[in-house]
Amino acid sequence: MKAFVHRGQVTKVVFGRRTRSRIPDEVVLMGCERMVVLSTLNQAAQAAEMGDLMGAAMVGHFAEATMHTPVEVTEKAVAYVQSVKADGVLTVGGGSTIGLGKAIAVRTGLPQLALPTTYAGSEMTPILGETEGGRKTTRRLPEVLPRTVVYDVDLTLTLPPAVAAVSGVNALAHAVEALYGQDHDPIANLMAGEAVDALIRSLPAVIGRPDDPEARAGALYGAWLAGTCLGSVGMALHHKVCHVLGGTFNLPHAETHTVVLPHVLAFNAAAAPDAVERVARTLPGSEGGTAAALFDFVGELGAPRALRDLGMPEAGIDQAADLIVQNAYWNPRPVDRSSARALLTRAWAGERPAV
């Protein structure tokens, strides 16, 4: 028998099609009357539509959410929400926007309502990652969790297949890491396994049939579960590597997770055989094992498999290896600089993962 501690979450989840029509009711249930909508510039038009739903309850729109949640952007957003006397925020978008909502929440105490449009899963984790001075740091803060998350499958139908692929593999990375996370427990294992199944089965259909709502629903369902279980068990080497790469070299978040995932699974394979076996149930191993099968799966989705293709300089490998072993996250297998450098070198070149 394995003793465990399970962290339940209190976030309310509304899942389905056309569920964004419930936004006004959820605002009222949160006790809010003056909401600011947050988004990136690219999703400003989609976010502005919330004004038609909320009417007078929408008192502003801040459309400058930025990848990796730079502190300077957060400070500007906080000043804005305070200037319009907001009593809550609605985040419309993916991880960048939801990260900004969390950063505002920890500074102001304002409640959040999230309307995700990607498979990022950040809305279900109590983890806040912020970037300052070229370094990305993370904190676990239960108070940054959104009060309510509304998943509307219809909003993901316009997510381009190429974006859906990397966003979906990013969610898959959450689930895989949750299978061997330090605080994994029976409930988290069940959710993570279900998420792996849903994402591996749905993502090829999303790429092949972008307008299929059932495929999109399966991917969004998997992303919800993946974010939920990651939020309860904590992060390990995979997220440490991605946080270093994203914060230091400003690499795109989902694409970085997509490239790194097979290599970290290969590194941890011997120390986390149960996790590998669970992934292999849905994704049978090829020559090279389950990590290699995952590498092939990413390629079949048309997603990137090399850090150099994301803009990482080869000269940055040594710097990244140093940072990975500094203040290292817990991991089932200890990580030294040599191992980190070898993993990064293969990931940079887009080589098949080595067990």
Give the pLDDT confidence score for residue 134 in this predicted structure: 83
Mean pLDDT of the chain, nearest integer = 94
pLDDT at 138: 85
Residues 18-28 have pLDDT tens digits of: 999 999 999 99
Tens-digit pLDDT profile for residues 117-172 = 999 999 999 989 999 988 888 898 989 999 999 999 999 999 999 999 999 999 99
Per-residue pLDDT, 79: 98
Contact yes or no for 174/226 (Cβ under 8 A): yes
Name the fold adopted by 161-349: Dehydroquinate synthase-like, alpha domain (1.20.1090)
* Distance (Å, whole) CA 116 – CA 95: 8
Note the pLDDT of residue 51.
84
Report pLDDT for 232: 84
- Which residue, 4, 8, 308, is CA-closest to 142? 8
pTM of this prediction? 0.93
Confidence check: pLDDT of 62 > 90? yes
What mean pLDDT comes out for the span 63-82? 96
Say if residue 337's pLDDT is above 80. yes
How many C-beta atoms lie closer than 10 Å to residue 46's C-beta?
Answer: 17
Residue pLDDT, tens place only, 303-335: 999 999 999 999 999 999 999 999 889 999 999
Domains in the chain: boundaries? 12-156, 161-349
Give residue 48's identity as a one-letter amino acid code: A
Find which of 176-190, 279-293, 314-328 is predicted with most confidence, using mean pLDDT: 314-328
Q: Is the pLDDT of residue 213 over 90?
A: yes
Q: What mean pLDDT comes out for the span 76-88?
A: 98
107: pLDDT strictly greater than 80 = yes
- Is residue 1's pLDDT more than 70? no
Q: Flag whether pLDDT at 286 surpasses 80.
A: no
**Which residue reads 């509307």 in tokens?**
152
Domain 12-156 listed as CATH 3.40.50.1970: yes
